[in-house]
Structure 1
Amino acid sequence: MEQHTVVLYGKPGCGPCVAVKAALERAGIEYVYVDVTTSPEGLEHVRELGYQHTPVIETSDDHWTDFRPDKLAALAKGLGS
């Protein structure tokens, strides 16, 4: 994964996924969205990270699940947003 790459793994109808997308966009954080319902590779990667549900947010040095305002704020600060 490239430095400063943010990947959001989500699926349609996922409320927390929408909240994470909105927070990333408000903070001006560029991200790649992977729909785990259409990307078998994305779904497998989420499972390899140990998660069973979305959203999963992955950065160059961290990953977590759910809408975590604390993590998103730290990410924005770390990326200079």
Structure 2
Amino acid sequence: MGEETLTVYSKSGCVQCDATYRALRKFDLPYEVVDVERTPGVANELRDRGFASLPVVDAPGEPAWSGFHPGRIKKVATSRELAGRPDGAHRGARSAGGVDPPPTQAPESRNVL
């Protein structure tokens, strides 16, 4: 079975989103970025699921969460290691639009959906 990619719903200027990307890279977890500002309907879908802030992280086999949670990211990484996931090269981000997310330094308020 291949690795399952996490999905990070975010938008530009979201400091917590950037921290989440860094933590995912630290643990070599593959992820895809979905920009809620550029993907019609996604923000409403996330609100309907009960989320009010970004990032929202969907990790296969785990309940989705919002915000920067390094402990949850570490838990996903540890679960995969215990399941026999081989160590591999850094995977980094792959955005849904084929463009890597840009680094940002905007205020924390940008994480609101």
Structure 2-normalised TM-score?
0.63
Aligned partner of 1:67 in structure 2 is: 68
Higher-Rg structure is 2
SS at match of 1:39: coil
Q: What is the CA-CA distance between 1:47 and the residue it aligns to?
A: 1.7
Aligned length: 79
Within the alignment, does 1:43 sit opposite 2:75 as a pair? no
Q: What is the CA-CA distance between 1:7 and the residue it aligns to?
A: 0.4
Q: What is the CA-CA distance between 1:16 and the residue it aligns to?
A: 0.3
Within the alignment, does 1:10 sit opposite 2:10 as a pair? yes
C-alpha distance in 1 between matches for 2:19 and 2:68: 7
Q: What is the CA-CA distance between 1:8 and the residue it aligns to?
A: 0.3
Aligned partner of 1:19 in structure 2 is: 19
| Aligned-CA RMSD value | 1.6
CA shift digits 1:1-49 (9 cap, x unpaired): xx73310000100000000001101110001100001012422331232
Unaligned runs of 5+ in 2: 82-86, 88-113
Structure 1 runs, 4 residues or longer, greater than 4 Å off: none
SS at match of 1:40: coil
Aligned partner of 2:54 in structure 1 is: 54
